[in-house]
């Protein structure tokens, strides 16, 4: 049986499963672990989705719980809190995308231009570090810095005479929105550069040499060579990020939450936790989870089509 | 004739004695620890224990005392005892996640009736036969009988619970508030403010004198805060008490709650309350007290109180005083009496018969005086010493060795049996539980507090909450929604401008009703009118 045929013109590859396994077994072994992870965490839970159509009680199990048809969805969609959390999730994730998505690209372009290798490495390490801090630490430090009266930032600014009254960075919803988004960008932008820097290294050096000989400035090289060179990666990541527009990070929201900003902080992750888990309403939590996934999938598919229509490779 | 009578009497007495002996023998043979034998196969027994995230205490699920239980109880009966940490601030979520994973501990326990009622409604709990329970755990059962707790063991027609003992529940003398007496003296007070007017006056003077910027302090409210007893009218209307008196779902829209929040708003706008209170945790608030940034500190008393120790280290010249029972910063010196029981103990519906029997055995074993004493006090010469005069145990407050106990003398373990350490008279109990080795001794004040509370309780100022003997389904349905909503509304009402308060309160009260509170009070009223509740005692 033919295993595959090369798409490269003039090159024919004929092999069998057995030969391929014997030759590359180490690679297949490496592949095995992520495949198991995906199966266990992404597919093995699918049978559990039936709890959406039940008034599921863990103690009664699937056999003992009552079937309620689409009642759970009805309940969720009629819930005012769900509407509030849905609105906030969409708005804040789109804002996160708008503010957070370009930052790693810009940062990667800047890092790529740094010529002193040691400085570049130190800078990269410093930029990666926030990614490894938990939201609990970041949230607690943020509150110490940004409290309206006793936060260090406000105290310093008041002492310097820049402001008369503390800025409610985390205690007034509009200020909170900006602080929340910017801290999110700060936390993730360094780590996000890794993929773009890897993509940049795959651009042929000859292109840069040719451009330099033709007298292209650093800015022109960046604009006409580097950016087009990573365009495919940018589009792929954009499509993947669009799939997360319905998601939200509970730890981040929880750590930055307080009663004065609930109007904005109440997003789907908080809704699922408060109503679904703390309130033991697992059917509701699962219904909202499925809703998030389906909408996310639709967005990915639409974005993929749009990307292809615009002449890009797309994702699928 | 007389001899005949004597014979008859002697025969009857002998017969009665024999019958008594036989029945006693039969009873002894059938019940209690003497009847226990080790299980043939190892039985798993999982007991929940609060994880409070407190510093300086041993790992809650593995320490000397958990091993002590395994060696002295588990190994004797072939039971493997494990302890399941439950986050104190998020009990319901922890249990819900354990239930979802079908990994509930054998025992489920909580202090609040609506929570355990929800577990029963969700099928987490199995029903129990109290007669069977009495056979396995007669000491524990007898304590329930002696404390009139059997009426609380059932929901509807089904029996679910065993109840731990809560001595002196109606006075709650163990919860005390310490205030800065040195500050009060500085502003001309020789006593702790006794009325709201005095309290506001003292706070204002302390603030104006520059002693403390925000003497009222404050911290973000949790579930169980904002109790309305000091704002109620006495004697209470029983119907209102039944439908609004619960402290798990707070009664936004009820007159006492209005008065409470109105005063909170006034204190906030007067600059008495810390304007950052809603982002201040309870631990931060303790640190504020230690650092002289607020006037008062409240907590349950214990022989070792780290916050007070730290306070005197930071403020060696400070003078503290206990707020007397008759004083209040509200309207009435009333309080919420605790429930007439401690932990409400239920049993997992996932557990096997043997596992539930093991749980009952554990409760009985821990009810034995010598076991309970060791667990509560620790090892003589290490955790405690006997007082030469009274012969009573006195805790070593700074003990930090191998036998170090868990939070508050390991209370989160032995609370399955009893809620406090008791030894001797109330005076002796207070003395043993009052914080030790501090520059000031509060024993006499707390004893006085106790007796004042007894008097006030007799006048009806320490009501317990109404208990329902039928499940209130709306409570389970709307509990988390209403709790979250209340926190949000409460802070908005506290921080709004005084002139906006009334309109905002009215708006929120309506929204609260619509969000589920109306359904809750309707169902409570129905249960009350059907006679399925406890009654408010009649006071002279």
Task: Indicate whether B76 and B163 sit together in one domain.
Answer: yes
Residue pLDDT, tens place only, B209-220: 999 999 999 999
Distance from CA of A187 to the nearest CA of B (A): 22
Instruction: Show residues of chain A in contact with B490, CB under 8 Å.
Output: 259
Q: Residue B249's pLDDT is what?
A: 93
Measure in Å the smallest separation between the Cα of B488 and chain A Cα atoms: 5
**What is the DSSP code (8-state) at residue A132?**
G
User: How many structural domains are present in chain B?
Assistant: 3
Domains of chain A: 1-35 (no CATH), 79-309 (1.10.3720.10)
User: Are both B348 and B448 inside the same structural domain?
Assistant: no
Instruction: Tell me the pLDDT tens digit for each residue of B289-318.
Output: 999 999 999 998 988 888 999 999 999 999
SS3 B298: strand
Inter-chain contact B100–A282, Cβ cutoff 8 Å? yes
Q: What are phi and psi of B178, to 5 degrees?
A: -100, 140
B contacts of A280 (beta carbons < 8 Å):
92, 96, 99, 118, 122
Verify that B132 and B42 share a domain, yes or no: yes
Please enumerate residues of A whose Cβ is less than 8 A from a Cβ of B. Answer: 57-60, 64, 81, 143, 147-150, 170-171, 258-260, 262, 273-275, 277-280, 282
Least confident interval from A3-12, B181-190, B367-376, B468-477: A3-12
Same domain for B240 and B267, yes or no, is yes
pLDDT band at A13 (very low <50, low <70, confident <90, very high): low
Distance of residue A249 Cα from the nearest chain B Cα, in angstroms: 18
> Is B418 among the domain residues?
no
Mean pLDDT (chain A) is: 90
What is the structure's pLDDT at B279?
A: 94
Contacting residues of A for B122, CB less than 8 Å apart: 57-59, 280
Identify the CA nearest to B147 among candidates B472, B456, B419.
B419
Q: Are B324 and B194 in contact (CB under 8 A)?
A: yes
Return mean pLDDT, chain B.
90
Q: Work out the average pLDDT over B3-18.
A: 47
Comparing CB atoms, the residue among A57, A60, A279 nearest residue B480 is A279
* pLDDT of B440 over the 80 cut: yes
pLDDT tens-digit readout, A234-277: 988 888 888 888 888 999 999 999 999 999 999 999 999 988 88
pLDDT at position B540, please? Answer: 55
Lookup: tokens for B507: 């708006």
Mean pLDDT confidence for A63-69: 90
Half-sphere CA count of B277, side-chain side, radius 13 A = 26
Same domain, B106 and B157: yes
Nearest to B379 by CA among B363, B401, B398, B362: B401
* Pairwise CB contact (< 8 Å): B278 & A259: yes
Do the domain assignments include residue B395? no
Q: Residue B360 belongs to a domain with what CATH number?
A: 3.40.190.10
Identify whether B512 is part of a domain. yes
Average pLDDT over residues B436-445: 92
Say how far apart CA A229 and CA B202 lie, in whole Å.
72
The CA distance from B531 to B534, in Å, is 8
pLDDT digits (tens, 9 = 90+) for B517-535: 999 999 999 999 999 888 8
Instruction: Give the closest residue to B438 by CA, choosing from B330, B265, B322.
Output: B322
Q: Does the pLDDT of residue B26 top 50, yes or no?
A: no
Which residues constitute the domain of residue B73? 35-167+344-369
Tell me the C-alpha distance between B481 and B340, whole Å. Answer: 28
| pTM of model > 0.90 | no
pLDDT at B22: 42
- Residue B181, both tokens: 């007496």
Chain B residues in contact with A146 by the CB 8 A cut-off are none
DSSP string, B116-170: HHHHHHTT-B----HHHHHHH-HHHHHHHHHTT-GGGSEETTEE--EE-B-TTTT
Q: Clarify whether residues B443 and B323 are in a common domain.
A: yes
Query: Is A59 within 8 Å of B492 when comparing Cβ atoms?
Result: no
Does residue B18 lie within any of the structural domains? no
Same domain, B352 and B457: no
Q: Which of A226, A220, A130 is nearest to A184 (CA)?
A: A130
User: Is B148 found in the same domain as B45?
Assistant: yes
B136 within a domain of the structure (yes/no):
yes
Q: Are residues B295 and B430 in the same domain?
A: yes
Does one domain contain both B459 and B479?
A: no
Residues B65, B191, single domain; the answer is no
Tell me, yes or no, whether B234 and B125 share the same domain. no
Q: What is the length of chain B?
A: 540
DSSP B355-395: HHHHHHHHHHHHHSHHHHHHHHH--BTTTEEE-TTT--EEE
What pLDDT was estimated at residue A8?
Answer: 58
Q: Which residues of A touch B488 (CB under 8 A)?
A: 259, 262
Percent of chain B, pLDDT > 90? 69
* CA–CA distance, A27 with A231 (Å, rounded to integer): 29
């Amino acid at each position: 049986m033919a295993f595959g045929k090369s798409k490269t013109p003039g090159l024919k590859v004929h092999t069998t499963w057995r030969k391929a396994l014997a030759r590359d077994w180490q690679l297949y072994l490496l592949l095995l672990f992520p495949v198991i992870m995906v199966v266990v965490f992404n597919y093995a839970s699918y049978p559990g989705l039936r709890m959406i159509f039940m008034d599921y009680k863990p103690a009664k199990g699937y056999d003992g719980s009552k079937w309620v048809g689409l009642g759970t969805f009805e309940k969720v969609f009629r819930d005012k809190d769900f509407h509030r959390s849905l609105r906030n999730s969409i708005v804040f994730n789109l804002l996160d995308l708008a503010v957070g998505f370009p930052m790693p690209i810009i940062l990667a372009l800047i890092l790529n231009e740094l010529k002193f290798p040691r400085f570049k490495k130190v800078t990269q390490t410093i930029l990666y570090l926030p990614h490894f801090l938990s939201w609990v630490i970041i949230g607690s430090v943020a509150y110490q810095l940004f409290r309206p009266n006793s936060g260090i930032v406000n105290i310093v600014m008041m002492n310097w005479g820049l402001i008369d009254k503390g800025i409610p960075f985390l205690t007034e919803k509009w200020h909170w929105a900006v602080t929340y988004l910017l801290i999110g960008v700060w936390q993730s932008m360094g780590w996000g550069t890794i993929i773009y820097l890897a993509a940049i290294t795959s651009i042929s050096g000859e292109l840069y040499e040719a451009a330099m000989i033709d007298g292209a400035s650093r800015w022109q090289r960046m604009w006409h060579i580097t950016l087009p060179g990573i365009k495919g990666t940018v589009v792929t990541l954009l499509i993947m990020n669009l799939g997360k527009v319905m998601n939200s990070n509970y730890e981040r929201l929880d750590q930055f939450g307080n009663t004065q900003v609930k109007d904005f902080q109440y997003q789907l992750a908080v809704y699922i936790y408060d109503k679904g888990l703390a309130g033991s309403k697992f059917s509701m939590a699962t219904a909202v989870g499925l809703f998030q996934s389906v909408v996310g999938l639709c967005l990915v598919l639409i974005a993929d089509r749009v990307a292809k229509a615009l002449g890009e490779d797309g994702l699928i | 004739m007389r001899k005949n009578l004597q014979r008859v009497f002697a025969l009857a007495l002998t017969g009665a004695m024999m019958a008594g002996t036989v029945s006693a023998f039969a009873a002894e043979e059938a019940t209690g620890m003497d009847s226990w034998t080790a299980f043939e196969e190892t039985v798993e027994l999982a007991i929940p224990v609060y994880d409070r995230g407190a510093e300086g205490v041993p790992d809650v699920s593995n320490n000397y005392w958990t091993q002590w239980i395994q060696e002295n109880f588990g190994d004797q009966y072939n039971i493997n005892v494990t302890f399941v940490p439950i986050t104190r601030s998020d009990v319901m979520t922890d249990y819900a996640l354990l239930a979802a994973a079908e990994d509930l501990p054998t025992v489920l326990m909580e202090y609040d009736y609506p929570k355990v009622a929800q577990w029963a409604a969700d099928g987490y709990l199995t029903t129990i036969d109290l007669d069977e329970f009495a056979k396995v755990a007669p000491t524990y059962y007898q304590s329930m009988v002696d404390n009139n707790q059997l009426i609380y063991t059932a929901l509807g027609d089904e029996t679910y619970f065993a109840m731990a003992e809560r001595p002196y529940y109606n006075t709650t003398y163990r919860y005390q508030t310490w205030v800065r007496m040195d500050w009060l003296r500085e502003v001309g007070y020789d006593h702790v403010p006794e009325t709201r007017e005095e309290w506001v006056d003292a706070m204002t003077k302390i603030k104006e004198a520059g002693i403390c910027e925000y003497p009222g302090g404050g911290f973000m409210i949790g579930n169980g805060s904002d109790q309305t007893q000091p704002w109620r009218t006495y004697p209470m209307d029983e119907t209102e008490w039944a439908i609004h008196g619960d402290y798990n779902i707070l009664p936004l829209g009820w007159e006492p709650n209005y008065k409470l929040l109105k005063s909170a708003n006034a204190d906030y706008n007067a600059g008495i309350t810390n304007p950052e209170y809603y982002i201040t945790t309870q631990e931060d608030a303790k640190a504020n007290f230690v650092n002289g940034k607020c006037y008062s500190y409240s907590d349950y008393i214990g022989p070792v109180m780290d916050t007070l120790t730290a306070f005197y280290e930071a403020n060696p010249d400070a003078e503290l005083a206990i707020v007397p029972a008759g004083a209040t910063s509200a309207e009435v010196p009333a309080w919420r009496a605790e429930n007439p029981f401690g932990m409400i103990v239920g049993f997992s519906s996932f557990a096997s018969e043997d596992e539930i029997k093991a749980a009952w055995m554990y409760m009985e074993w821990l009810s034995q005086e010598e076991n309970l004493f060791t667990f509560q006090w620790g090892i003589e010469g290490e955790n405690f010493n006997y007082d030469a005069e009274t012969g009573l145990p006195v805790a070593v407050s700074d003990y930090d060795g191998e036998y170090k106990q868990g939070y508050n003398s390991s209370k989160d373990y032995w609370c399955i049996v009893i809620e406090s350490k008791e030894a001797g008279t109330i005076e002796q109990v207070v003395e043993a539980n009052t914080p030790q080795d501090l520059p000031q001794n509060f024993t006499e004040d707390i004893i006085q507090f106790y007796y004042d509370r007894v008097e006030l309780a007799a006048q009806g100022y320490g009501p317990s909450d109404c208990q329902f003997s039928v499940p209130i389904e709306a409570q389970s349905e709307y509990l988390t929604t209403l709790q979250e909503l209340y926190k949000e509304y409460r802070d908005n009402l506290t921080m709004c401008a005084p002139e906006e308060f009334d309109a905002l309160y009215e708006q929120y009260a309506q929204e609260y009703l619509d969000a589920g509170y109306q359904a809750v009070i309707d169902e409570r009223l129905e249960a009350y009118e059907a006679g399925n509740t406890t009654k408010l005692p009649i006071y002279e």
